Amino acid sequence: MKTINVDFSQALGKIKPMNAVNNGPHGISERGTTNFPDYAALEIPYARNHDASFHSAYGGEHTVDVHRIFRNFDADENDPRSYIFEPTDMYTKNTFAAGTKVFYRLGASIEHGYKFGTYPPRDYAKWARICEHIIRHYTEGWANGFAYDIEYWEIWNEPDCCNADGSNPCWQGTDEEFIDFYEVASKHLKKCFPHLKIGGPAFTAPKHGPLQLAFLRAVKERNMPFDFYSFHRYYKKPEEVARAVEVAKASLDMFGIEKPELILNEWNYIRGWLKEDWNYSLRMERGLKGASFIAGSMCIGQACDLDMLMYYDARPCGMSGLFDTETLAPRKGYYVFYQFKDLRRLGTAVKIDAQNENIYSCAAGDGKNGAIMVTHYQDLDEADAEDVCLKIEGMNAENGIRAEFYLVDEENNCKLVREELLASNVFSLHLKMKLFDTYLVKLSAI
């Protein structure tokens, strides 16, 4: 039997935004369909708008990317008529209307085929001024704009990406060019907006590769703005979240960089990127295994020194475990996000002994009520069920406690499947967990 000890009397700080995502709600399409109510019900804290231009319901080819908003690089960047804001206005408005703040990626969507937007800008300073005007449009009302609270502005995406054939779908320049580009853009934007968070560069991984190390050395030596360090990690075991964070911190330590916010802003289950491994990964992401993987990653992210975890992708697409591509109906992963919402509502993480192989858990409380998320995940297709004992203390409820068990499995979508009434403040709860089961156990004072 696996034992998890939870002490609600020992607060560990806030439940962090482990339930942030890439991309916002699907707007009302020409067929009248939308996932807006379901998306809003998740109470997602942040949505990164990378790859939004791939989805017609977000505004399609004119959306978000700098070269799509500012179509003619030779135009006057000070003239509002040089910008196409309307599609991104709609997309941003819908995202905020769902209760989700935008995390704005400045740059280009990935280009696996023809390259256009991923070339280095001809004039780095002008590109920075164009971004300045995009920021002013969305935060200061420039060009009939808005006053949105968009605090995160990320410069570029995956400059280190490398396909199997050696090509880069995200940056067509050299490593040195990228570092110079980031320096010009980040310094200009930070000078214009010292109150905003300027960072990036959304590496494919925080590994100690040539570009990663050269970039971080330049951050230190050139005093480049670096309010957050963003990176990606696709993997098949949730423990990789913590390993990525430790690698990122070690590389920062190499150059004496004080830890910025660490944001893992693309992640999902990947067994492999090619052929049958890729096809298998897509199938798993959309089903129950992908849902349990999400829960395990959230739990690991909460326990380690990570500031934000942003799932790829909430956009209805092949890699979305949240919404079906055709019908927009919630997939299994949606209901794990729905469970984590309750931990975020409670607000405070509490002490939990979660050192159990294949069993991942985290817990939160508000001084009176509590909740525990626990999942049974292994990178297998079949495995025996696990007996799990939750040993609970510190609830501080004089008249007893009600325990409610909400389950995500093949038959249940965060459905209440069991209730118990407990008279003591110290008690145990027992779970028989099939592979990929995810429970949210809610505890409330009677």
Please give the distance of CA 92 from its chain centroid, rounded to a whole number: 17
Give the start-to-end residue ranges of the domains of the chain: 16-347, 349-445
Q: For the purposes of burial, counting CB atoms within 10 Å of the CB of 256, is it exposed (0-12), middle (13-18) or buried (19 or more)?
A: exposed
Q: For the purposes of burial, counting CB atoms within 10 Å of the CB of 275, is it exposed (0-12), middle (13-18) or buried (19 or more)?
A: exposed
Task: Judge if 16-347 and 349-445 fold alike in CATH terms.
Answer: no
Q: What is the pLDDT of residue 228?
A: 98
Task: Classify the C-alpha dihedral 190-196-201-207 as positive or negative.
Answer: positive
Q: For the purposes of burial, counting CB atoms within 10 Å of the CB of 239, is it exposed (0-12), middle (13-18) or buried (19 or more)?
A: middle
Q: CB–CB of 385/435 below 8 Å?
A: yes
Length of the chain: 446
CATH T-level fold of 349-445? Immunoglobulin-like (2.60.40)
What CATH homologous superfamily does 16-347 map to? Glycosidases (3.20.20.80)
Dist CA 50 CA 244 (whole Å): 21
From first to last of its 446 residues, the chain has per-residue pLDDT tens of: 899 999 999 999 999 999 999 999 997 665 678 999 999 999 999 999 999 999 999 999 999 999 999 999 999 999 999 999 999 999 999 999 999 999 999 999 999 999 999 999 999 999 999 999 999 999 999 999 999 999 999 999 999 999 989 999 999 999 999 999 999 999 999 999 999 999 999 999 999 999 999 999 999 999 999 999 999 999 999 999 999 999 999 999 999 999 999 999 999 999 999 999 999 999 999 999 999 999 999 999 999 999 999 999 999 999 999 999 999 999 999 999 999 999 999 999 999 986 678 999 999 999 999 999 999 999 999 999 999 999 999 987 778 899 999 999 999 999 999 999 998 888 999 999 999 999 999 999 88
Q: What is the pLDDT of residue 334?
A: 98
pTM of the predicted model, to two decimals? 0.96
